[in-house]
Structure 1
Amino acid sequence: MGIVMADGCRLSARVWLPADAGTHPVPAVLEYIPYRKRDGTLPRDEMMHPYVAGHGYACVRVDMRGNGDSDGLMTDEYTEQELSDACEVIAWLAAQPWCSGTVGMMGKSWGGFNCLQTAFLQPPALKAVISVCSTTDRFADDIHWKGGCLLGENFGWGAVMLSYSSRPPDPALRDDWREVWLNRLEAEPWLAPRWAAHQARDAYWKHGSVCEDYGRMTVPVLSFSGWADNYMNTSDALVRNCAGPAQAIIGPWVHQYPHTAVPGPQVGFLQLAVRWWDRWLKGIDNGAEDDPAYRAYMIHSAPPDASAKHRAGHWVAEAEWPSPRVRREVLHLAADGGLSAPRTPRGYLSQDESRFRAVIATPQHLGMYTGEFFPMGLNAEMPGDQAGDDALSVCFDGAPLEAPLDLLGAARLVLRLSSDKPLGFVVARLNDVAPDGSSVRIAHGMVNLCHRDSREAPQPMMPGAEVEVAFDIDQMAYRLAPGHRLRLALSNSYWPFVWPSPEAGALTVTAGRLNLPVHQGSEGEWQPPQPEMAPAWKHKVLRPGKTTRRIETDLISGKVALLINDDLGDAENLSHGLITGETMSELWEVHPDDPLAARAVHIWEQRLSRGDWSVRTRAEAEMTGTATHLRMTARLTAWEGERVVFDRNFDDEVSRLFV
């Protein structure tokens, strides 16, 4: 189905309708993303949208402008054009004879972002949204920057989108596929340097950040997040701040929908979605608005496992959020490396605070076991044993616990420190240390010291000058077992999660406090429904995939590298015959003593074929840095059959103002 925008651009849509929608109109539920409904998200679409349609909804999956089988060109993420199109699509859906006039919007990641951003614009027919793995602040809490620190995945995501957006429409749907494809390739942007150039929270990032005015968030929002994902802060922000109804469900999951995500337990996301839609799109008085405001899976102590299939724990249900069952407990960083009981109720450092001297000058390869920004599955993408990184860090440990310690919310760390360099950052990890010495990451947080006072107007540090720095550690729900210890690990390197500072500096910490959200305790307060879904897509595996992930040390050069190879194999869609395949490799290398040795290389290949038709694209990207600039190069090549039809090189440098 085609949906034509006001400027004539035709967006391609797939629609699932109840059989009697023509005579009994139903509400519409929109998912609107750039990830290609014909092949990219088809496996998950087949399990979700027919299920919801079977419960009395028109489910509509739209390829954004410039992607999949749609017309047009895409220039960036979350543009004015993208959001304008979303509002037009919603109005178009509401006007269809099979639609009752009310529309909901849902999505994960990109779709989770833009359904919040569209709700912010308040199109009249949009009555509710469900946002999964999303953010309210594009600068503070997305894949580009975190605490003002430049994330390695800013480059990685640029390489992903260079690859993802390079594919053509399906010739079975469009006779003009080749012309559309070549136009896309010619116009395709290399976005990583653009994102890296915006090193403060300027107008570029404020656009699309719904936190700019929570008063506009009046459309009811149901937010899902995962503790193994790095969008775990969004649910708290929405429930705490939205002007309209907002609820949150946070599980142990990676960056996937909760009915299929690992680690388990999975939940009946689709049943919960239907309950939300029934209340806000159909007006059914089912009590959904009175469900607990904040439902969180509290993870229990267990050995570290970067490929955990399941996490032991229980569900906590808070009727209101922030919860009156959470108290703040302040622990002091002590000279002996301990976390001591509070002496005063104050939450800020005082002039008479007991002093010590701890120097943070960690090697550049610290962080190899931190996992992915948004892990997708079981291929060792979650944080592994932190003991090795802890040994390289400056650590402060609490005493062995005599009783369980339940944490629910975000910890806040306040440090008094100085830096010997103008640019630098500090990373804090909260870890659960077992009696055997193994260490599980509970949560982490970080701050670029240039952003210590303002994200909008960062300023370099004055070497040697002592300042107070305060920042939040990510939201968590975690129970430490008796006999375990809570550890605060501090570092000024975190590779490859954070791109290194240009100089290997040293931070001198002389005082600090850790403000913890301690929950009074609970046991199994919510029992979510078990997962249900529609049948899986009909396909044939032509070549199975294989993934490897390893850390290597070059004994001659001394460089340490994380190498990832992810071959997803090739599969044939038995419904329409399209054969698709994807292969990816990543290299992240650095020298322990030299931040300027940091180098990332990503290579992505996309394959599409049917009969005697075949196309292939290859995106190769590399990032390095000097003392003054970040350099990001890329090459995009496309083949039709065995013939190269497009080949372009990109070469960009970004000044290091604050990174």
Structure 2
Amino acid sequence: MSALSFVKSTSATGAAVPGTTFTVTETAIGVPTVALTSESSGASASPTYRTSAIHCSPCPRGGQGFKGNRYNNPARSAALSCTRILSPAMVNVGEQFAPDVGFQGPWNWRNNRGTTGLNIRHKFVASYTYELPFGKGRRWMERIMRRCLLLALGLASWLTWAQQARFDSHHSSTVMVAMRDGVRLATDVYRPARAGRPVEGRFPVIIYRTPYNKNGLAKDAAFLARQGYVVLAQDCRGRFASEGRFYAFVNEGRDGYDTIEWAAAQPWSDGRVGTAGASYLAWDQYHAAMYRPPHLAAMFALVGGADFYQEYAYPGGAPNLGWPAWLLRSAATSREAAQAPESAARLQSILKDPWQWLALHPRQRLETFRNFPDHFRMYRDLLEHPEFDQAWRQRGFYVKGYYRDIKDVPTLLLSGWYDYFAEGVLENFQAFARLHKSPTYLIMGPWPHGTGAAQCGDADFGAQAALDQTRLMLEFFDHFLKGQPSNSLGREPVRYFLMGGGDGARGAGGRLRHGGQWRTASSWPPASVHTSRYYLAAGARLITQAPSEQGARSFVFDPDNPVPTIGGRYGVPGTPPCAQNQLCSPKIPGCKDARPLAEREDVLSYSTPPLETPIAIAGQIRVTLWVASDAPDTDFTAKLVDVYPDGYALILADGQIRMRYRESFSRPTPMKPGQPYCVQIPLGSTANLFARGHRIRLEVSSSNYPKFEPNPNTGEPVTAWTRRAKARNSVYHGGRRASFLELPVLTQAQ
């Protein structure tokens, strides 16, 4: 006779006794601690009882459940064994076995009739054997088993505490890791330590690869090392202490692969490798995963996009001045800058006040990089490739073109509604969720490119908006590299912050209390979102019914007097970031007065009446415009704004289109002066509650500077124009040329 039972840690009832059969049910799933007891009887007068305390987490997605599986074998004595999927190691009941504290992994429980069907992740924290006399009575046996269970739970708690406290420090060293072509990359290795001395043993590995100096990762690396990880912080090729030449993004795939596999082969590695990091450090994770490193086991990728051309280099075909500014900062910390202090000082001077430099012709800005060959080449290539060509279709720049190559591993993606890579993060999530069997998680907060805070620009979203990303990362890797339970990774793969609903008063920090709340969803966009159209109409109105009468409004766009950038997803030093009131101020670059932007003559504003009921949106916003111009090329911009009853105009999303690329970003086509064209402008995605009494506003213009370089309106090459001219631009509404805004509206239940 044999039996196998699971018992909740909070109760000793139901413990296995001779002759007991126990059916495991769904209630066992997710219990933080359970006790496993098994009995094997045979010829021996003193059968062996074994009790192991284990941690248990729910079945992986797509795995078998517990319900209805009966674990007993009345025909013969149980030959119960524990087989690790990743290793042939086996332990049999009755054997003396004490696994190392923290020994973990995916396990299958088997009896002598084959697989039981139970397939979950367990973590052993205690294991010991008792020899008990047989035949002393059922009640006596139950009492002994209860005592054993309590002892197991106490020992499990002590061992859990001991494991957490066993690394009181870290040990770091620097090695030069050789890539396949012989180039060596400087790599800091942080190992778990006691009293500063590295602990021998094998640990899971977490890798950061950065162009921003590996020394800046010391704090996070040391923290993770104290949690039982070996952490690698590596300078990318050609940056800081690493050898080779630097060209952003393009070398990170093979270098990432080589680093992952090198780490897996080291004596301090257990072979499981995760990658981590934000922005560039997320892009290089995707690139390495395209080559499918055998030992890559998980990715924690923050604010890493999918299409660099559309998201940062030339969004909507318009040159983004943030990328030249990035190259300038990178050059200022290059090897050449370290060797030529005078050249470095000039770059630092420009960075303190970049306005005059950004106002230069693109070809004049190129000369700034003359003494920095790597960055000169990158900036020259930017100027020579304004179209979406093969230069931008390389693996490093174009993640979405290689989704099917990316290795299927557990992945967490995180971004914010004011992050310029937000749309790429959302596209990556949708693709990974569709193509991969491993879990993919998405977190979208009310944040800019620097994520995790409760405030963004001039808005305060409440303390609930803040997120401890380091703790989240630790829990993610503990779950997927160590098999520990997770509290933050819920059943729903999507967690997003719905902005809005605050009282609009000024908080203690002087920011607008816009408020908001976290929500979950099974997909992105959330289910049951429906698209609502708001049509541009005469009288600067936004209405829900298409106007039958056709009309138009016109304005003059002067590239020498562009509309200033006030908040939004992009910005350069000196511009107000993130959530901002669309109100000019002499402190804001480009502003010449203190009027709302909507009052400028080159801005067309369309608003709803004050809302009688709240409207919540979550998803991508699009604007379809019928437009015309007297120029062969010009830009059109659109901006979604949440207008408070007192007139405060909070920017939510914005976008633009350079008209020569209205048909294709690969093949420019000039406009015919005066001819109407229908164009679509994606504004990206957001989630916001327009409260009762608020207005939904759409602002249309032809510039947003210095977010984007103004169009010279001459039709000349994008980066080689010789003159600028004013353009008279028109926007149609109603009739056969109805222009409209599309919003992803959540149902009332959601």
**TM-score normalised over the length of structure 2:** 0.61
Cα distance in structure 2, aligned partners of 1:224 and 1:28 = 21
User: Which of 299, 312, 319 is equivalent to 1:150?
Assistant: 319
Q: Equivalent residue of 1:258, what SS?
A: coil
Structure 1: state its 5+ residue gaps.
171-183, 344-351, 524-659
> Partner amino acid for 1:97?
P
Cα distance in structure 2, aligned partners of 1:304 and 1:493 = 31
Q: Equivalent residue of 1:193, what SS?
A: helix
Question: Which residue in the other structure is 1:370 paired with?
Answer: 566
Task: Evaluate the alpha carbon distance shift between residue 149 and residue 323 of structure 1 in structure 2; reply closer, same or farther with a 3 A threshold.
Answer: same
Q: Which has the higher helix share?
A: 2
Confirm or deny: 8 A CA contact 2:447 2:453 kept in the other structure.
Answer: no
Q: Which 10-residue stretch deviates more, 254-263 or 204-213? A: 254-263
Confirm or deny: 8 A CA contact 1:73 1:187 kept in the other structure.
Answer: no
Alignment map for 1:422-501 (pairs within 5 Å): 422-501=632-711
Confirm or deny: 8 A CA contact 2:554 2:729 kept in the other structure.
Answer: yes
**How far off is 1:34 after superposition?**
1.0
Question: Which residue in the other structure is 1:508 paired with?
Answer: 730
**How far off is 1:164 after superposition?**
2.4
Cα distance in structure 2, aligned partners of 1:363 and 1:403 = 39
**How far off is 1:336 after superposition?**
2.1
Confirm or deny: 8 A CA contact 1:148 1:455 kept in the other structure.
Answer: yes
* Runs of at least 4 residues off by over 6 Å: 167-170, 303-307, 375-379
After superposition, give the CA deviation of every residue in 1:396-429 in whole Å (9 maximum; x if it has no partner).
1111011222111111111122222121111110
Alignment map for 1:191-340 (pairs within 5 Å): 191-207=378-394, 208=396, 209-217=398-406, 218-242=408-432, 243-244=435-436, 245-258=439-452, 265-284=465-484, 286=486, 291-300=491-500, 302=504, 308=511, 312-340=515-543
Alignment map for 1:1-400 (pairs within 5 Å): 1-2=174-175, 3-19=177-193, 23-38=200-215, 42=216, 45-74=217-246, 76-79=247-250, 81-142=251-312, 144-166=313-335, 187-190=373-376, 191-207=378-394, 208=396, 209-217=398-406, 218-242=408-432, 243-244=435-436, 245-258=439-452, 265-284=465-484, 286=486, 291-300=491-500, 302=504, 308=511, 312-342=515-545, 354-364=549-559, 365-371=561-567, 374=570, 380-387=576-583, 388-392=596-600, 393-400=603-610
> Partner amino acid for 1:16?
Y
Cα distance in structure 2, aligned partners of 1:432 and 1:310 = 13
After superposition, give the CA deviation of every residue in 1:15-39 in whole Å (9 maximum; x if it has no partner).
222238754312111110111123x
Cα distance in structure 2, aligned partners of 1:106 and 1:368 = 36
Task: Evaluate the alpha carbon distance shift between residue 353 and residue 117 of structure 1 in structure 2; reply closer, same or farther with a 3 A threshold.
Answer: farther
Cα distance in structure 1, aligned partners of 2:270 and 2:658 = 49
After superposition, give the CA deviation of every residue in 1:59-109 in whole Å (9 maximum; x if it has no partner).
1110112112112221x2111x33221111111011111111121111111
Q: Equivalent residue of 1:247, what SS?
A: strand
**How far off is 1:325 after superposition?**
3.4
**How far off is 1:355 after superposition?**
1.9
Confirm or deny: 8 A CA contact 1:420 1:507 kept in the other structure.
Answer: yes
Confirm or deny: 8 A CA contact 2:253 2:287 kept in the other structure.
Answer: yes
> Partner amino acid for 1:107?
G
Q: Which 10-residue stretch deviates more, 293-302 or 446-455? A: 293-302
**How far off is 1:458 after superposition?**
2.6
**How far off is 1:379 after superposition?**
8.4
Task: Evaluate the alpha carbon distance shift between residue 112 and residue 494 of structure 1 in structure 2; reply closer, same or farther with a 3 A threshold.
Answer: same
Report 1 or 2 for greater relative contact order, CA contacts < 8 Å, sequence distance ≥ 6: 1
Give the total of aligned pairs: 494
Cα distance in structure 2, aligned partners of 1:359 and 1:24 = 72
**How far off is 1:342 after superposition?**
3.6
Task: Evaluate the alpha carbon distance shift between residue 499 and residue 169 of structure 1 in structure 2; reply closer, same or farther with a 3 A threshold.
Answer: closer
> Partner amino acid for 1:140?
Q
Task: Evaluate the alpha carbon distance shift between residue 378 and residue 154 of structure 1 in structure 2; reply closer, same or farther with a 3 A threshold.
Answer: closer
After superposition, give the CA deviation of every residue in 1:316-335 in whole Å (9 maximum; x if it has no partner).
11122231132211111112
**How far off is 1:475 after superposition?**
0.9
% of aligned pairs identical? Answer: 26
Q: Which 10-residue stretch deviates more, 262-271 or 457-466? A: 262-271
Question: Which residue in the other structure is 2:735 paired with?
Answer: none
Task: Evaluate the alpha carbon distance shift between residue 197 and residue 295 of structure 1 in structure 2; reply closer, same or farther with a 3 A threshold.
Answer: same
Cα distance in structure 1, aligned partners of 2:691 and 2:453 = 28
Question: Which residue in the other structure is 1:559 paired with?
Answer: none
**How far off is 1:490 after superposition?**
0.3
Confirm or deny: 8 A CA contact 2:253 2:290 kept in the other structure.
Answer: no
Task: Evaluate the alpha carbon distance shift between residue 333 and residue 122 of structure 1 in structure 2; reply closer, same or farther with a 3 A threshold.
Answer: same
Task: Evaluate the alpha carbon distance shift between residue 303 and residue 163 of structure 1 in structure 2; reply closer, same or farther with a 3 A threshold.
Answer: farther
Confirm or deny: 8 A CA contact 2:446 2:499 kept in the other structure.
Answer: yes
Cα distance in structure 1, aligned partners of 2:189 and 2:568 = 34
Q: Equivalent residue of 2:622, what SS?
A: strand
Cα distance in structure 2, aligned partners of 1:367 and 1:106 = 38
Q: Equivalent residue of 2:286, what SS?
A: helix
Cα distance in structure 2, aligned partners of 1:158 and 1:308 = 32
Confirm or deny: 8 A CA contact 1:369 1:384 kept in the other structure.
Answer: no
**How far off is 1:287 after superposition?**
8.0
After superposition, give the CA deviation of every residue in 1:515-563 in whole Å (9 maximum; x if it has no partner).
101123579xxxxxxxxxxxxxxxxxxxxxxxxxxxxxxxxxxxxxxxx
Cα distance in structure 2, aligned partners of 1:308 and 1:117 = 39
Cα distance in structure 1, aligned partners of 2:232 and 2:684 = 34
Confirm or deny: 8 A CA contact 1:68 1:168 kept in the other structure.
Answer: no
Cα distance in structure 2, aligned partners of 1:260 and 1:23 = 41
Cα distance in structure 2, aligned partners of 1:253 and 1:287 = 23
Question: Which residue in the other structure is 1:346 paired with?
Answer: none
Task: Evaluate the alpha carbon distance shift between residue 96 and residue 367 of structure 1 in structure 2; reply closer, same or farther with a 3 A threshold.
Answer: farther
Task: Evaluate the alpha carbon distance shift between residue 59 and residue 394 of structure 1 in structure 2; reply closer, same or farther with a 3 A threshold.
Answer: same
**How far off is 1:150 after superposition?**
0.9
> Partner amino acid for 1:145?
Y
Cα distance in structure 1, aligned partners of 2:317 and 2:524 = 27
Q: CA RMSD in A?
A: 3.0
Alignment map for 1:614-625 (pairs within 5 Å): none
Q: Tell me which structure has the larger Cα radius of gyration.
A: 2
Task: Evaluate the alpha carbon distance shift between residue 100 and residue 213 of structure 1 in structure 2; reply closer, same or farther with a 3 A threshold.
Answer: same
> Partner amino acid for 2:517?
H
Confirm or deny: 8 A CA contact 1:157 1:192 kept in the other structure.
Answer: no
Task: Evaluate the alpha carbon distance shift between residue 522 and residue 32 of structure 1 in structure 2; reply closer, same or farther with a 3 A threshold.
Answer: farther
Confirm or deny: 8 A CA contact 2:505 2:512 kept in the other structure.
Answer: no
Cα distance in structure 2, aligned partners of 1:383 and 1:323 = 23
**How far off is 1:49 after superposition?**
2.0
Q: Equivalent residue of 1:475, what SS?
A: strand
Task: Evaluate the alpha carbon distance shift between residue 59 and residue 295 of structure 1 in structure 2; reply closer, same or farther with a 3 A threshold.
Answer: same
Q: Equivalent residue of 1:129, what SS?
A: strand
Task: Evaluate the alpha carbon distance shift between residue 158 and residue 46 of structure 1 in structure 2; reply closer, same or farther with a 3 A threshold.
Answer: closer
Q: Equivalent residue of 2:192, what SS?
A: coil
Task: Evaluate the alpha carbon distance shift between residue 158 and residue 381 of structure 1 in structure 2; reply closer, same or farther with a 3 A threshold.
Answer: same
Cα distance in structure 2, aligned partners of 1:438 and 1:29 = 45
Cα distance in structure 1, aligned partners of 2:651 and 2:575 = 18
Task: Evaluate the alpha carbon distance shift between residue 169 and residue 522 of structure 1 in structure 2; reply closer, same or farther with a 3 A threshold.
Answer: farther
Task: Evaluate the alpha carbon distance shift between residue 19 and residue 310 of structure 1 in structure 2; reply closer, same or farther with a 3 A threshold.
Answer: farther
Task: Evaluate the alpha carbon distance shift between residue 261 and residue 480 of structure 1 in structure 2; reply closer, same or farther with a 3 A threshold.
Answer: closer
